[in-house]
Amino acid sequence: MKCKPPGRLKPIQDTQSARISAHVEFSSPAEQRPPEFSLRYMQQDYCVGCCEKEEKAALADTLFKLSREPV
């Protein structure tokens, strides 16, 4: 698998608009909703498979820490 070198990230755009809000309240239980975060749609050239062992471990640690933070 050929991986691209890291590039620059796009600047974060405003998360509020007249039509879109960053935070959405759901009425259904969490088990019945799609995940709020998923690696499913990552671009092939920027996949976890291109990471070194330490980078994969750091990603897992970060996701675990973020999952423990209050919403």
Q: Tokens 């991986």 correspond to what residue? A: 3
Indicate whether this model's pTM tops 0.75.
no
- CA quadruple 46, 49, 55, 57: dihedral sign: positive
Which pLDDT score, from 0 to 100, does residue 12 have?
62
Specify the pLDDT at position 58.
Answer: 95
CA 31 to chain centre: 19
Predicted pLDDT at 22: 60
Query: Is a pLDDT exceeding 80 seen at residue 65?
Result: yes
Residue carrying the six token digits 């259904």: 28
Taking the domains of the chain in order of start, what are their residue ranges?
42-71
Structure confidence by residue, pLDDT tens digits, 48-64:
888 899 999 999 999 89
pLDDT one-digit tens code per residue, 24-53: 677 778 778 777 777 777 777 778 888 899
